[in-house]
Copies of this chain bind each other. A is one copy, B any other.
Amino acid sequence: MKNEKFVPNLYVALTHYPVINKRGDIIASALTNLDIHDISRAAKTYGVKRFYVVTPLSDQKVLAKKIIAHWTGGAGAAYNPDRRSAFELTKIKDSIQDVVKDIEDIENCFPKTITTCARRYPTSISYPELRDILEGGLPHLLIFGTAWGLAESMISEANFVLEPITGAAGYNHLSVRSAVSIILDRLLKPEN
């Protein structure tokens, strides 16, 4: 272990636009309630600083706000304080540009961006490589896509692309909830 007190300076975004559908068309996807729950809880578990739910759609922002308000200040907060502390990390933004601006306001510098994808790119970086980079302490934003994944423009504009999760036998179709959980564990688990 290089750094026993590794405190990650990591932000996570779950993007609903621009993503692709089954045919490869660019779409804005609908929110999935359990994405917000599961990723908020995983973010809290691994010390992620903020989790951004990114959608430009007004009705979807209203829905996300209702979910977050229920668990941070409503009946859900009293029922389950652990859920409350996870949802307190969760913010809603229109775009990745707005997320980057928010992080810049907090950190006084731009975060480097890392996209995730089920495909491997010639420029993909490995989990140990990204962990080494994160141990440097500079702010980074890890971006996940919903539906069939991030639009190519999002991937090409990022500073890094993270290698895909490989299991056995070439099957590579995890839910985004599972993918976020596994990737945070690979990058941030304390005993690494």
Contacts and interface: CB of A to CB of B under 8 A. Distances in A.
Given A182-B182, A190-B167, A173 B34 contact: no
Given A41-B174, A86-B173, A167 B181 contact: no
A159 interface: no
Interface residues of A, number: 41
B45 A82 contact: no
Nearest to A176: B38
Contacts of A188: 167-168
Given A7-B168, A177-B178, A177-B181, 16 more contacts: A34-B175, A38-B178, A41-B178, A42-B174, A44-B171, A45-B165, A46-B167, A46-B168, A47-B168, A83-B173, A166-B191, A167-B184, A168-B188, A178-B180, A182-B182, A185-B185
